[in-house]
Amino acid sequence: MKKLIIATFLLACLGISVRAADSQTASPTFRNPVLWADVPDPDVIRVGNDFYLVSTTMHLMPGGPVMTSKDLVNWHTVSYLFDRLIDSPKYDMRGGTVYGLGQWATSLKYHNGMFYALFAPNDSPGGESYLYQTKDPRQGWTLRTRLPHFHDCSLFFDDDDRVYVFHGTGIVKMDLGGMREGDRAGLSAFNGDAVQLMASRQNGHTLLFVEEASVKFSKSKKIEQVSQRTTGQKELHGDIVYLRIDADFNPGKDIASLSYSTDGTTWHKLGEDFKMKYDFTRLFMGSRFAIFNYTTEKPGGHVDIDWFHFSCGEK
């Protein structure tokens, strides 16, 4: 009974906070915050004259609140994606808990008269993605299907009605002709533990290498230590290089594989496969693709980023 009262109180607080913003009269001006509540990972879309927003509730149930608004200021909660998740016994506090896990970062889309919501719980077991649908968010949601785990993914409907889930491979084309001595530039799967595929100008030569880095923070988030390890290197001849990271976010994987090309067609693997890690005590985010350029000596150098392509897993 005590657990039920606490859970009800938490949800009631969320509802009161949102309604407090709703009570304001719409006007040309407004004051932030527009939602006096914890509404993380919002995904907002517009359908006709209405805006729709879905947020993260993690281990709280019902989960996946969906709100509507006419002006992006006054919001009303109209439904939840699900009443409860049951894939893992930990949701019933058997064999552990799911505090801070559960439903995260839902992708909300509208296509051909139907609303869709896709998310992947950060659970094991139970990490397979959920795809919900409805014709009207005010009338509730129906589970359409389950998919493999795609961490913090995005659902996309193309013009030809093909459906994609974006989650995986980043490729960047760089022109290194403007680099100076001591410059470094490249592509990274970035987090508190990161892997970097980078070019470095050293003694008039251009060296391509893979470096793993792990940062240690103080309680105030001051950087105290950075540990680094090189797992592969290769001298480059020419200024054009293509850098690629393939990220496998399937359950139990979270592996980044790195490769390079000088013509965009033939690829060469470099360095070791890297185990991407999520550590909420440091950056509180999943791994991101990052393009970077910095100097270790004198400023003034540069690289040209011709393009960055992000490809996807297709379902």
Residue 208, pLDDT above cutoff 50: yes
Average pLDDT over residues 10-34: 54
Beta strands 274-275 and 304-314, pairing class: unpaired
Check which CATH number belongs to the domain holding 282 and give it. 2.60.120.200
- Type of residue numbered 262: T
The tally of domains found in the chain comes to 2
Residue ending a domain, among 157, 187, 206, is: 157
Residue ending a domain, among 157, 186, 213, is: 157
Mark whether 179 and 309 lie in a shared domain: yes
* Residue 105 structural domain: 11-22+34-157
Under the banding of pLDDT at 50, 70 and 90, the label for residue 18 is: very low
Residue ending a domain, among 105, 135, 157, is: 157
Does any domain span residue 6?
no
Q: What is the pTM of this model?
A: 0.58
> What DSSP string runs through the chain?
-HHHHHHHHHHHHHHHHHHHHHTSPP-S---S-SS-S---S-EEEEETTEEEEE---BT-SSEEEEEEESSSSSEEEEEEEES---SSGGGGTSSS--TT-SB---EEEEETTEEEEEE--S-SSS-SEEEEEES-GGG--EEEEEE---TT-EEEE-TTS-EEEEEEEEEEEEE-TT--TTEEEEEEEESSEEEEEEEEEETTEEEEEEEEEEEEE-TT--EEEEEEEEEEEEEE-SSEEEEEEEEE-STTT-EEEEEEESSSSS-EE-S--EE----TTTT-S--EEEEEEEESS-S----EEEEEEEEEEE-
Mark whether 15 and 149 lie in a shared domain: yes
Taking only the tens place, the pLDDT of each residue in 92-141 is 999 888 888 889 889 999 999 999 999 988 776 666 889 999 999 999 99
Sheet holding 63-69, edge to edge: 43-47, 50-54, 63-69, 75-82
Mark whether 135 and 237 lie in a shared domain: no
Mark whether 95 and 40 lie in a shared domain: yes
Residue 301, pLDDT above cutoff 50: yes
Does any domain span residue 2?
no
Does any domain span residue 234?
yes
Count of C-beta atoms within a 10 Å radius of residue 159: 5
Cα distance between residue 159 and residue 156, in whole Å? 10
Output the pLDDT for position 11.
39
Average pLDDT over residues 18-30: 54
Output the pLDDT for position 124.
63
Output the pLDDT for position 23.
43
Average pLDDT in the chain: 85
Of the listed ranges 22-26, 138-142, 277-281, the least confidently predicted one is 22-26
254: left (phi over 0), alpha (psi -120 to 50) or beta: left
Residue 150, judged by CB atoms within 10 A of its CB (0-12, 13-18, 19+), counts as: buried
Taking only the tens place, the pLDDT of each residue in 218-260 is 888 788 899 999 999 999 999 999 999 998 877 678 889 999 9
Structure tokens at 139: 């009338």
Taking only the tens place, the pLDDT of each residue in 147-172 is 877 777 888 888 888 887 766 688 89
Of the listed ranges 12-26, 58-72, 172-186, 232-246, the least confidently predicted one is 12-26
Percent of the chain scoring above 90 in pLDDT: 52
Cα distance between residue 174 and residue 212, in whole Å? 21
Check which CATH number belongs to the domain holding 81 and give it. 2.115.10.20
Mark whether 185 and 291 lie in a shared domain: yes
- By C-alpha distance, which of 44, 48, 58, 38 is closest to 117? 44
| Residue 301, φ and ψ in degrees, nearest 5 | -80, 170
Output the pLDDT for position 312.
62
Residue 269, pLDDT above cutoff 70: yes
